[in-house]
Structure 1
Amino acid sequence: MRRSDCIAKLAGLCLVAGLLLAGLALPVVGAAGLVSNRMGDQVAATSVSLVNTPPPLMSTITDKDGVPFAYLYDQYRVLTPSDKVAQVMKDALISAEDRRFYEHNGVDWLATLRAAMRNQSSGSVQGASTITQQYVKNHLVHVLERDDKGGQVKAQEQTLARKLREARIAMHVESQLTKDEILTRYLDVVPFGGTIYGIAAASQAYFETTPDRLTVPQAAMLAGMVNSPTFLDPEARPDKAVDRRNVVIDLMVANNKLSPEQAEVYKREPLGLATPVRPLPTGCVGSGPEVGFFCSYVVNYLTENGFDLDQLKTGGYTIETTLDRTLTQQAKQAAEAQVPKTTPGIANTAAVVKPGRDRHEVVALVASRDYGLKKEEFQTQFDLPSAVENKFGAGSVYKVFTAAAALEKGMGIETVIQTPNSYVSRVFRGGAPSCPSTGEQATYWYCLSNHDSSYPPQMTLKHALATSPNTGFVILEEKVGLDAVVDMASRLGMRETMSTNIAGVQPDPSAERQDLRVSQADFYKSAGNASFTLGPAPTSTLELANVAATLASGGSWCRPTPIRRITDRYGKEVRAEEPPCEQVVEEALANAMVVGLSEDDQERGTAAAAAKQFNWTRPALGKTGTTEEYKSAAYLGATPDYAGAVQVFNDGTTPKGICVNGGPPRLCEEGDIYGGTLPARTWFDFMSKAHANLPEKPLPAVEPRYRLP
């Protein structure tokens, strides 16, 4: 090299060193030359924001006993205090990344000058970043700018200006945090590949351990990954990971953290990775096929009550739910026992709610289907047990609303009602079956008959609820008025259901068909459709269960909730915006309805055979339902301890009936399912187990005015 070139290069190195020293000194001496006061203010503001902005944290969803079953996150991260991180992890990181960490003020001047000289020769601007500088960059990229791609690029660009800004911020940070705080924060924020962030997540994912239990080889491998987690991925490139780990172990020897003899032993150890390497599963699919429906309901509930999904994925909440694992398993097994999960086109769903005057806690939401993404294995992400997913209706279960409206109009459960074998309603129109009137042109009356001719021409309302004659409840609907029956359905619990249209989705004002533009409630009222009491419209299984809970709670309606307690990352309780409970019917009326519905499992009731099959003997309210074309059937029931509903319905693309006799459940041209078959069997199966160790409780007393006015 010519002498003139050497002199020029030496001058350039001196210039670079001078620029670095001048730029870095600005925050300390307050000079204003290369960087303006405005930029100095921006640096100070950024450092303050960096110190005071916590990183995204995983939220944890637990069952009622505090056992986690689901995790929500974009960045799998769990904050770990310094005393919960093994000293060997700290030693490995400092030895590999910043040996003089405890000696500098955020910038290692000697290393910076050496790097500047190397970079001047190579044209690069890399190297010499301290742990504090790396913390600054990682916090900018993965916390402050995590939703801003442009900001992330700017925080990583290889320019002298970015290096100077990063160094100045690092010095500000060092003036606000202790070395131990910086090291701890760095270990919490740094990525370790994929969605794994921070030492706690990395310890679990790679070694199925915790940071305080890391060994020297494990700590060395993780310390070696921080600057290139993808290239040094130990699962994809184990040889490179071992080589880098061993380099870190040698650096620990050079830093007097290990003896050479110890190092040789550690370097001979295998990586010892978890098999497979996986972070905790995220989202409701990751929670598993059994509790995924409950998880989805929790997320939907919270996003409807003051939280947004990003907040849940980053807030570090602990969400303690009302999920009862044991009852969930019992209900899941019962649902699959009646309808195997692989049954084409048929789903069996169940929901269980605890009655109460101040809260209605959801304890189980299951389906015969598994929750998941594998359609070929009959998995689904549709909220089968909680949303309005039974598009064919709950059938005669809706007679409950007609009976309650009748009691509110002054009748009693022993009132005798007319139950002729067939009937033509000249009050209401439309609906199937229908028949043309003999009067006004294009007017249709409502013509119907009972299931068979075995019904007497009249019976008490209590007997009618147990045996379910269609004509009697249409006649009753005429007497009390359709508006009163529809309103009663909403009041007792069918609120979201009644707000959907007759297709089971939110009304669409732009739809061509008028019945799709309005809610079910408005449609049935305006159309004068008498079929409402026979339950032909889309229905939520969970809301049916909550109707039973409302009756069993003395007429107190509470929005069903899956939440017991929510705490934020600091342990402070956070409340969801839950509506207050309402006394929707008089307590005496609700008690009369409970007793009026108490004979469905008795000898003459439609669920008697199912109750007998599972040796059910305790007092309970119950009601079966079957739709006109056998595409769905339901059972609603409750004791003072648990209220539950089951719906079996066609969830396929072919609108056929469901056959249950002469073989396993299947779709068929003419169905034969009834509410007293698969739905009632499912209910009595899991409810008999749920009540096995509970004392039997009597039904409430009925005031005389609600018995026989």
Structure 2
Amino acid sequence: MGTNLARVQLSRNVPRFLGSCAVAGVLVAGVAAPVAMGAGVLSNEVSDSVDGISSSLATSRQPLVTTVTDRDGNPIATLFDQYRLPVTYNQIAPTMTAAIVAVEDRRFWSEGGVDPKGMVRAALHDSSGSGGTQGGSTITQQYVKNYLINVVDRGDKAAQYADRADTIARKLREAKIAVQLGQTESKQDILSGYLNVVEFSGNIYGVRAAAQAYFHTTPDKLTVAQAALLAGMVNNPNLYNPYTHPQQALDRRNTVIDDMVTNRVLAEKDAETAKASPLGVVDGGPDIPSSTCMGAPDDAGFFCAYAESYLEQAGFTADDLETGGYTIRTTMDPVVSRTVKDAVDANVPPTQNGVANTFAVIRPGNTTHEVLAMVANRDYGTDPAKGETSTNIVANASNVFGAGSSFKIFTSAAAMEAGVAGLDTPLPNQSGQCFTQPGANQYTPQYCVQNDGTSYPDPISLRDGLATSPNVAFVGLEQKVGMPAVLDMARRLGLRNSLNTNDAGAKPDPTSKDTRYSEPQSQYFQDKLSFTLGNSPVSPLEMANVSATLMSGGVWCPPNPILSVTDRDGKDVPVRQQACEQVVPAGLANTLEAGLSQDTISGTSAAAARAADWHHPDIGKTGTTQFSESVAFVGGVDDYALSSMVFADGPHPQEICPGTPVHLGECGHGAFGGTVAAPPYFHAFSQLLAGKPDVPLPAADPAYLTARR
């Protein structure tokens, strides 16, 4: 952490204290003797508690700020419980050390950790019954006290109260430890340690954080007036807060400057100049960064939140992340993220009423699926008036209306794996048909579907069906393959978390009598042929990972947002990751890619592709729900797997209508995946791939071109 305190040198000093109490013993005897409560009782109380305190000091590390960066190392967010930035003694201006010594402990440089005269005077006064208490604490003792309050007991209000109690026992405990520190630590390390741990009001801890928050400077550049203001705040951070109590803060600052003159570390003429200066704090401050991912840039908030939850699932606690002082280097690509964010904002403005546009990008691979971007037209925050949401609508199963016909990917893969159909297999495709649901009895109504339009051939090949998306052909294929196989394929290819949610996109509630809410989707859809038409809640991120699995030769890996984590000392911290799996044969994945290669050429997004002058070889599958509350484009190009989804996200969902901008309404014939969800893809990747050579798609495997049974 940069200083001996920051590295908690107490861990090597405190244990030695237990075997070297000569000075401390004299101190206890000398101070405790006049105390009416009895030296024996007090001595026992002190001795019994010091062991525990010493152990706590030895094992407790200061809370530090965790920094989250993009893949290039650019900070995107800070996570913290206490805003503290470590600093060494040599990084603190002499003005600051002189100011704090002058006002808090003038004999600091010559005393041995305690001020016996001051302590005896305070003990005699406090035990006389004359009312009130006196101080007598040195900076070393205050260091111990603040370390207990702000570090060891920061989560325990009762313990913090005891740490502040004006009792002789508490002061003697501090004194015993302070004596040991005075024997084993340099004055410079004690002083920098104190200035790293002490509070400067609110959530600002340590001189470096305070210098930044109040003056937009660093501690090595603090002027006399600035240093005196900060030193004065230590005694009572709330009373001497320059924003809430400016006059008290000014008076206190000037008192510190006078003390510096008295302590002969500042000339009188310089003191008068400093006292004549204004407070000089930053306007509207103190200026401290957000302590959560909601402070991230508009293209990084959802990514940051996902990285945080990913690490928690890997074993980090929320407290670890808020206090550990880690550097979390994510996989976020700042160019990709910015480009797709601009594309979705152009498609659906952030404040557009009731319409969300999410976009996720993943890099395929056989050992990891790195997440490159997670954005939406919504921003991650708490102000709905600004189009913000506090729900991670990119990672969660937040599209409760579903991804429409993009789910036909799962039926196709299951059929190819089972040998029921190959890419060239003709599928029955009447304009409309009713099907018997799995497990139906005489009272179960049939499931009736129609194709959108009458121009589809009957039969139609699976290859052409993937491009033009007839409903009847795929429901019939799903019935033939069987729901268990289709649902299992959806899980294997990527819908790991989505299928664990209920039909409302939430955690199943076993107390509900309604199976829509009590059962996970993996169970709820076992007898519902509507699954292949994509009417179930889904995670946009997981649908992008479905494409990544196909583009990785059938290898599924969890969507990974983390490149590395290093601790406060710069050491690598391993991050546990779920193992990758070969979930379908490479030949099947390649063949399905070949089947998905026609969507932007002759399929449902071809018109939008031509309008965007799109020419890159890619894979794609659009989706549109029955009443157009959600439309989707799921696909991939080069080494980018992606999903773009536009869906109703307000309390009064309606049909989504195309236009500039996309909006809710009653437009008669609503939006489609090709007309509304695909354009942000063409917009963004035309820029990202400009000037780059095309990457050909893999060839289909002949084993999956025809049915095998």
Give the structure-2-normalised TM-score. Answer: 0.91
Quote the offset at 1:261 in angstroms.
Answer: 2.5
Matching residue of 1:377: 386
The aligned amino acid for 2:587 is A
Residues 25-424 of structure 1 mapped to structure 2, 5 A cutoff: 33=40, 35-37=42-44, 39-115=46-122, 123-277=131-285, 278-410=287-419, 411-424=421-434
**Within 2, Cα distance between the matches of 1:669 and 1:427?**
33
Q: Percent identity?
A: 46
Matching residue of 2:495: 494
Quote the offset at 1:164 in angstroms.
Answer: 2.4
Quote the offset at 1:428 in angstroms.
Answer: 4.1
Matching residue of 2:612: 614
Quote the offset at 1:94 in angstroms.
Answer: 1.1
> Which of 158-167 and 621-630 deviates more?
158-167
**Within 1, Cα distance between the matches of 2:156 and 2:307?**
29
Q: Secondary structure at the match of 1:387?
A: coil
Decide whether the 8 Å contact of 1:74 with 1:313 is kept in 2. yes
Quote the offset at 1:249 in angstroms.
Answer: 2.1
Decide whether the 8 Å contact of 1:47 with 1:172 is kept in 2. no
**Within 2, Cα distance between the matches of 1:92 and 1:708?**
84
**Within 2, Cα distance between the matches of 1:230 and 1:663?**
49
Matching residue of 1:689: 687
Matching residue of 1:592: 591
> Which of 285-294 and 335-344 deviates more?
285-294
**Within 2, Cα distance between the matches of 1:462 and 1:414?**
6
Quote the offset at 1:426 in angstroms.
Answer: 3.4
**Within 1, Cα distance between the matches of 2:26 and 2:350?**
70
Residues 473-492 of structure 1 mapped to structure 2, 5 A cutoff: 473-492=474-493
Quote the offset at 1:169 in angstroms.
Answer: 2.6
Cα deviation, 1:99-137, whole Å, max 9, x if unaligned, reads 111211111123334545666595222222110111111
Decide whether the 8 Å contact of 1:355 with 1:640 is kept in 2. no
Pair 131,335 (structure 1): closer, same or farther in 2 beyond 3 Å: same
**Within 2, Cα distance between the matches of 1:674 and 1:579?**
35
Pair 171,25 (structure 1): closer, same or farther in 2 beyond 3 Å: farther
**Within 2, Cα distance between the matches of 1:264 and 1:554?**
75
Cα deviation, 1:673-699, whole Å, max 9, x if unaligned, reads 111111011122122222225432111
Matching residue of 1:459: 460
Quote the offset at 1:358 in angstroms.
Answer: 0.8
Cα deviation, 1:644-675, whole Å, max 9, x if unaligned, reads 10111111122422222597412338551111
Matching residue of 1:629: 627
Q: Secondary structure at the match of 1:598?
A: helix
The aligned amino acid for 1:558 is C
Quote the offset at 1:37 in angstroms.
Answer: 4.7
Quote the offset at 1:152 in angstroms.
Answer: 0.9
What runs of 5+ residues in structure 1 fail to find an aligned partner?
1-17, 431-439
1:535 aligns with 2:544: no
Q: Secondary structure at the match of 2:204?
A: coil
Quote the offset at 1:48 in angstroms.
Answer: 4.5
How many residues get paired? 676
Quote the offset at 1:19 in angstroms.
Answer: 11
Pair 290,549 (structure 1): closer, same or farther in 2 beyond 3 Å: same
The aligned amino acid for 1:633 is V
Decide whether the 8 Å contact of 1:429 with 1:446 is kept in 2. no
The aligned amino acid for 2:678 is A
Pair 32,178 (structure 1): closer, same or farther in 2 beyond 3 Å: farther
**Within 1, Cα distance between the matches of 2:586 and 2:569?**
42
The aligned amino acid for 1:263 is A
The aligned amino acid for 2:113 is G
Pair 164,247 (structure 1): closer, same or farther in 2 beyond 3 Å: same
Q: Secondary structure at the match of 2:694?
A: coil
The aligned amino acid for 1:351 is A
**Within 1, Cα distance between the matches of 2:523 and 2:386?**
39
The aligned amino acid for 1:77 is R
Give the structure-1-normalised TM-score. Answer: 0.91
Q: Secondary structure at the match of 2:599?
A: coil
Quote the offset at 1:417 in angstroms.
Answer: 2.2
Matching residue of 1:652: 650
The aligned amino acid for 2:586 is E
Quote the offset at 1:556 in angstroms.
Answer: 0.8
**Within 1, Cα distance between the matches of 2:605 and 2:589?**
21
Decide whether the 8 Å contact of 2:347 with 2:660 is kept in 1. no
> Which of 168-177 and 591-600 deviates more?
168-177
Quote the offset at 1:569 in angstroms.
Answer: 1.4
The aligned amino acid for 1:631 is E
Quote the offset at 1:50 in angstroms.
Answer: 1.8
What runs of 5+ residues in structure 2 fail to find an aligned partner?
1-24
Matching residue of 2:14: none
**Within 1, Cα distance between the matches of 2:491 and 2:129?**
78
**Within 2, Cα distance between the matches of 1:132 and 1:59?**
28
Q: CA RMSD in A?
A: 2.3
Q: Secondary structure at the match of 1:537?
A: coil
Quote the offset at 1:587 in angstroms.
Answer: 0.8
The aligned amino acid for 2:595 is G
Quote the offset at 1:60 in angstroms.
Answer: 1.2
Q: Secondary structure at the match of 1:270?
A: coil
